[in-house]
Amino acid sequence: MAVSWGTLFADRTERMHASDIRELLKLTARPEIISLAGGLPAPELFPIDEYRRAFEWVLETNGNMALQYGPSEGYRPLREFLARRMTGMGIPAEPDHVLVTSGSQQGLDLLGKIFLNPGDAVCAESPTYMGAIQAFDAYQADYVTVPMDDEGMRSQDLDDILQQHAIKFIYALPNFQNPSGRLMSEPRRELLIETARRHGVPIVEDDPYGELYFEGGPLPSLRSLWPEGVIYLGTFSKILAPGFRLGWLVAPPGLYDEFVFAKQPADLHTSMATQMATNEVCQQDDFLETHIDQIRDVYRERRNVMLRAMEEHFPPGCSWTRARGGLFVWAELPPSIDTRELLAEALAEQVAFVPGESFHPDRGGHNTMRLNFSNVTPERIEEGIARLGRAIKRRLAHVEATAERDQSVPVSP
């Protein structure tokens, strides 16, 4: 008898499915399409030579350890390096409370595994990171969202939310948020912490982009403002390379072991060879700081080109964020435009973006879009934005013509 797979799936799989947008965006792999849709770093900046040397050295000098099973907590020298570096940046961290993860995406999954029963509520910014929604969806989470503006999460709205809802944790991206590129202002950070602390609700600070600032310097991390209540997620994906799947988290002492227990059944530990080679790369004099400086320079230029091109090619009625760091610009179009419909039009112009709806757990944001500048050369950004501007203008003309036609239809008595 044939197995009827679908009838055997656990309830939690109900919300695990391909998104139609992701399917559509598969088209963007075609070279003639200028994709502003991805969230990928610039591959030409990957430290390939440094890794080649580091892997060689690790295999020559400590191959037995590199290829053996290792501790779930992570490779101790790397945990020590991370704790030292974070402490130097004002993010409190002890090596004993650093857990190396297989990408910070694993940190999100572990959070769901530890905290979320079906129907439990997570408080998230609106919009928020799509991969976090996917991770928490797998644990059948509910969402309560906090609106954002140019200063990031509107922390002033949080008190009411925390009074009205039982929230397991607040998921926040204070630095150059994915998708909006926004930076949470210092007063908003302080108010967020003050409110969460008063209600006894923990915060998850997801911070892949904090070091990629293009102007000014870093603002105080949420963890520095409340070390006992903030779980910090970090990653090498945007400062070295995402392909190794190497991230980390810092958990308050009473929680750390729980993360280790949650990680063990998932993958026992993160690749030892990768951790050792990365530790080697990070030990090279000033390499990491110089490398991150170079990433900032390249991305800053691309961001500038994108903003300039948007000024030139986007029609009146559109607004967008300035992305003072990170990988993304977030645009809001006139309300008559549905960016999912616009995407089809844009693909015909051979340019792609991600419609904003994908970043809203409540499916809002129909007239918003995320644009990536890190993975596209300045020339292609310029051309891509010109194409997108044409698609938006055509779509606007279409919806205006449709509205006029509808108005001119005689109303029957």
Ligand X SMILES: Cc1ncc(COP(=O)(O)O)c(C=O)c1O
- Candidate list 208, 227, 356, 389; residue touching ligand X; CB under 6 A: 208
- CB 394 → ligand X: shortest distance, Å? 31
- Piece in contact with ligand X (CB under 6 A), picked from 182-190, 217-225, 235-243, 266-274: 235-243
- Candidate list 92, 174, 247, 325; residue touching ligand X; CB under 6 A: 247
Binding flag, residue 205, ligand X (CB under 6 A) = no
- Candidate list 109, 125, 205, 206; residue touching ligand X; CB under 6 A: 206
- Piece in contact with ligand X (CB under 6 A), picked from 7-15, 103-111, 222-230, 381-389: 103-111
Helix and strand numbers, DSSP H then E, in the chain: 14, 14
CA distance 70 to 73: 9
- CB 232 → ligand X: shortest distance, Å? 12
Binding flag, residue 237, ligand X (CB under 6 A) = yes
Q: Which amino acid is present at 411? A: V
- CB 332 → ligand X: shortest distance, Å? 20
Question: Is 224 or 237 the residue whose CB approaches ligand X more closely?
Answer: 237
Question: Is 147 or 243 the residue whose CB approaches ligand X more closely?
Answer: 243
Question: Is 104 or 195 the residue whose CB approaches ligand X more closely?
Answer: 104
Tell me the C-alpha to C-alpha distance, in Å, between residue 183 and each of 23, 150, 174, 346, 388.
30, 8, 6, 28, 25
CA distance 357 to 340: 8
- CB 25 → ligand X: shortest distance, Å? 15
- Candidate list 242, 356, 361, 365; residue touching ligand X; CB under 6 A: 242
Binding flag, residue 173, ligand X (CB under 6 A) = yes
- CB 15 → ligand X: shortest distance, Å? 19
In 159-312, the DSSP E strands lie at 167-172, 203-206, 230-235, 247-250
Question: Is 155 or 237 the residue whose CB approaches ligand X more closely?
Answer: 237
- Piece in contact with ligand X (CB under 6 A), picked from 52-60, 90-98, 100-108, 187-195: 100-108
Provide CB contacts within 8 A for 254, sequence distance 6+. none
Distance separating the N- and C-terminal Cα atoms of the chain: 62
State both tokens at 51: 């890794």
Provide CB contacts within 8 A for 359, sequence distance 6+. 127, 128, 129, 130, 133, 179, 365, 368, 370
- Piece in contact with ligand X (CB under 6 A), picked from 102-110, 138-146, 193-201, 311-319: 102-110
- Candidate list 71, 95, 131, 315; residue touching ligand X; CB under 6 A: 131
Tell me the C-alpha to C-alpha distance, in Å, between residue 179 and each of 141, 257, 322.
20, 31, 13
Provide CB contacts within 8 A for 9, sequence distance 6+. none
- CB 103 → ligand X: shortest distance, Å? 3
Binding flag, residue 73, ligand X (CB under 6 A) = no
Buried b (16+ CB within 10 A) or exposed e, 191-218: bbbebbbeeebbbbbbbbbbbbbbeeee
Q: Which amino acid is present at 328? A: F
- CB 143 → ligand X: shortest distance, Å? 16
**C-alpha 338: how far from chain center:** 23
- List of residues contacting ligand X (CB under 6 A): 39, 103-105, 129, 131, 173, 178, 206, 208, 235, 237, 242, 247
